[in-house]
């Protein structure tokens, strides 16, 4: 058996290649949209990709099933509860897929979504115990998939929670302790609240250590897994719907063009937005007015989906050599309207000085002076689960994922001061508010962590 895990840090997303060396047949599970790595690895190992399995309709990224099928002719498989606009191989609970001696077995594990499945991987067809189980978004390391995402339109969190309880407590926990667990996501994903940085585990370890795998009633389970979940980025529903549709495949390798000044000016005139992927400090020193700063060094794709809309035309400003990477990260969440990048931003800034602005970033000492003014709107943009460590007194809580749609709760005529945990997200949020017309927006250098070094925690 050839078994490879691929992990994408930007989206905390895992995908898998499972192949049989003897027959040369392989299946890809939960692929991302840029598929060159799978194709290259399969070719190097002498494998033919014959099938693509998606454990569910993903909400946090665009799956590469159409891209792989177009390139290899592979069938596309989903659990038999799935309905899509393209041709699908319906995979029934208990169905076995033979790659040769290596065998996959489908296990229906609904709850995160109604069509969710897990995939048992047997190194030999007659093995009594599976080598591992690919759990998708049903079971994570340290957590389980949230049942409250709007991706499952028409199904309530309570209905999904009941399904998830059976999937986790009875089906997955019914597997032998030695079965390895390989989830579709790790720490940082908004698909759960307590995901581990570990990329694999065992059923036995999860039985002992995962809070949601402990014996409990259905009511207790639903309460504990739905409490304290982070706000879902607005692009999740868009992705969940797009993953059901026939769509254009990603033209990997073509890249986006460098734009000359005239092309940039024309795009801005028709309403294009600027994504500035440089470091926060570089951005604060000089940027095009109205730019949104989502640095390439962090969870860029997911965060872009919180502050941009898929219909936006986008011009990229990025650290040199990262322009195409930024465009690919947009494409991974189905944002396909990156029209190009500004090749020499400093030169453009000099020649368009009237369009250049600076960002206000305050130290903790400056923050103490500023928040003494009752007119200042102090906003905590961390996720709900982060508030347990405390808040800065007087702050209102609006998570970054909700900030652009809840901006009307703030007065654009009054000063706004944002903070997150360490200062990365607050630069994003401050730039997004400025792009919406807020004139006086600052954020706190070092975020709440810097504040807490010199202040006693205040309960949220």
Please say if the pLDDT value at position 194 is more than 70. Answer: no
Please say if the pLDDT value at position 151 is more than 50. Answer: no
Q: Indicate whether 251 belongs to any domain.
A: no
CB 348 within 8 A of CB 356: no
pLDDT value at residue 147? 86
Please say if the pLDDT value at position 421 is more than 50. Answer: yes
The structural domain count of the chain equals 3
Residue 324 has which token pair?
């195409």
Assign residue 142 a region (left: φ > 0; alpha: ψ between -120 and 50; beta: otherwise).
Answer: left
Residues 28 and 170 placed together within one structural domain of the fold: yes
Strand 287-288 relative to strand 273-276: parallel, antiparallel, unpaired?
unpaired
How far apart CA 237 and CA 31 sit, in angstroms, is: 19
pLDDT digits (tens, 9 = 90+) for 328-346: 999 999 999 999 999 999 9
How far apart CA 302 and CA 294 sit, in angstroms, is: 10
pLDDT confidence tier of residue 460, bands split at 50, 70 and 90: low
The DSSP secondary-structure symbol of 80 reads T
Residues 316 and 409 placed together within one structural domain of the fold: no
CATH of the domain at 209: 3.60.15.10
Mean pLDDT across the stretch 339-363? Answer: 96
Please say if the pLDDT value at position 400 is more than 80. Answer: yes
176 burial type by CB count under 10 A (0-12 exposed, 13-18 middle, 19+ buried):
exposed
Residues 157 and 276 placed together within one structural domain of the fold: no
pLDDT confidence tier of residue 150, bands split at 50, 70 and 90: low
Range of the domain at 192: 2-242
Q: Indicate whether 396 belongs to any domain.
A: yes
Strand 139-140 relative to strand 201-202: parallel, antiparallel, unpaired?
unpaired
Please say if the pLDDT value at position 289 is more than 60. Answer: yes
Q: Indicate whether 327 belongs to any domain.
A: yes
Q: Indicate whether 459 belongs to any domain.
A: no
Q: What is the dihedral of CA 154, 159, 160, 166, to 10 degrees?
A: -150
Average pLDDT, the chain: 94
Q: Indicate whether 249 belongs to any domain.
A: no
Residues 69 and 137 placed together within one structural domain of the fold: yes
How far apart CA 212 and CA 125 sit, in angstroms, is: 31
Q: Indicate whether 254 belongs to any domain.
A: no
pLDDT value at residue 100? 98
CB atoms within 10 A of CB 251: 10
Residues 324 and 448 placed together within one structural domain of the fold: no
Residues 154 and 294 placed together within one structural domain of the fold: no
pLDDT digits (tens, 9 = 90+) for 113-147: 999 999 999 999 999 999 999 999 999 999 999 88
Q: Indicate whether 253 belongs to any domain.
A: no
Q: Is 10 a catalytic residue?
A: no
How far apart CA 115 and CA 109 sit, in angstroms, is: 8
| Of 95, 96, 101, 97, the residue nearest 124 (C-alpha) | 101
pLDDT value at residue 457? 78
Share of the chain above pLDDT 90, in %: 86
Share of the chain above pLDDT 70, in %: 96
pLDDT value at residue 385? 84
Residues 141 and 289 placed together within one structural domain of the fold: no
Q: Which of 357, 387, 407 is the last residue of a domain?
A: 357
CA 163 remoteness from chain centre: 24
Residues 30 and 153 placed together within one structural domain of the fold: yes
Please say if the pLDDT value at position 190 is more than 80. Answer: no
- If you search the block for the tokens 């069509």, which residue do you land on? 115
Residues 349 and 409 placed together within one structural domain of the fold: no
pLDDT digits (tens, 9 = 90+) for 42-91: 999 999 999 999 999 999 999 999 999 999 999 999 999 999 999 999 99
Residues 183 and 51 placed together within one structural domain of the fold: yes
Residues 61 and 138 placed together within one structural domain of the fold: yes
Q: Which of 295, 324, 357 is the last residue of a domain?
A: 357
How far apart CA 375 and CA 14 sit, in angstroms, is: 46
CATH of the domain at 408: 3.40.250.10
pLDDT digits (tens, 9 = 90+) for 92-112: 999 999 999 999 999 999 999
Q: Indicate whether 418 belongs to any domain.
A: yes
Q: Which of 179, 211, 242 is the last residue of a domain?
A: 242
Residues 199 and 335 placed together within one structural domain of the fold: no
Cβ neighbours of residue 207 under 8 Å, at least 6 residues apart? 173, 177, 213
């Amino acid at each position: 058996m050839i078994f490879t895990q691929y992990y994408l840090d930007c989206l905390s997303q895992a995908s898998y290649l499972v192949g049989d060396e003897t027959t040369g047949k392989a299946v890809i599970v939960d692929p991302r949209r840029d598929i060159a790595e799978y194709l290259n690895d399969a070719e190097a190992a002498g494998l033919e990709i014959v099938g693509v399995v998606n454990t569910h309709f993903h909400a946090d990224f665009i799956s590469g099933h159409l891209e792989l099928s177009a390139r290899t002719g592979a069938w596309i498989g989903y659990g038999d509860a799935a309905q899509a606009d393209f041709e699908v191989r319906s995979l029934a609970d208990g169905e076995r897929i033979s790659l040769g001696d290596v065998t996959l077995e489908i296990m229906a594990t609904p709850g995160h979504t109604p069509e969710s499945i897990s995939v048992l991987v047997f190194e030999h067809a007659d093995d009594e115990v599976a080598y591992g189980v690919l759990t998708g978004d049903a079971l994570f390391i340290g957590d389980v998939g949230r049942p409250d995402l709007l991706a499952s339109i028409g199904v309530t969190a309570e209905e999904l929670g009941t399904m998830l309880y059976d999937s986790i407590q009875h089906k997955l926990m019914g597997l032998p302790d030695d079965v390895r667990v390989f989830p579709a996501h790790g720490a940082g994903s908004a698909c759960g609240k307590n995901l581990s940085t570990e990329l694999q585990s065992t059923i036995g370890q999860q039985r002992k250590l995962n809070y949601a795998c402990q014996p409990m009633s259905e009511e207790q389970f639903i309460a504990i897994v739905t409490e304290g979940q982070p706000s879902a980025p607005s692009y999740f529903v868009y992705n969940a719907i797009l993953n059901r549709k026939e769509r254009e495949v990603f033209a990997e390798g073509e890249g986006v063009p460098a734009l000359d000044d005239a092309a940039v000016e024309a795009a801005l005139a028709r309403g294009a937005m600027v994504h500035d992927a440089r470091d926060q400090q570089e951005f604060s020193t000089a940027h095009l007015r109205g730019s949104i700063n989502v640095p390439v060094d962090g969870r860029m794709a997911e965060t872009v989906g919180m502050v941009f809309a898929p219909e936006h035309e986008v011009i990229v400003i990025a650290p040199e050599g990262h322009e195409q990477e930024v465009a690919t990260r947009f494409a991974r969440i189905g944002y396909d309207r990156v029209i190009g990048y500004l090749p020499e931003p400093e030169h453009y800034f000099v020649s368009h000085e009237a369009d250049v602005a600076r960002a206000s970033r305050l130290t903790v000492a400056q923050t103490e002076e500023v928040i003494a003014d009752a007119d200042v709107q102090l906003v905590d943009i961390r996720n709900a689960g982060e508030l347990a460590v405390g808040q800065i007194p007087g702050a209102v809580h609006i998570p970054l994922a909700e900030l652009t749609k809840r901006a009307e709760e703030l007065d654009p005529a009054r000063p706004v001061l944002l903070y997150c945990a360490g200062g990365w997200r607050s630069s994003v949020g401050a730039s997004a508010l400025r792009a919406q017309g807020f004139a006086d927006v600052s954020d706190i250098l070092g975020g709440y962590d810097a504040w807490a070094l010199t202040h006693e925690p205040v309960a949220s």
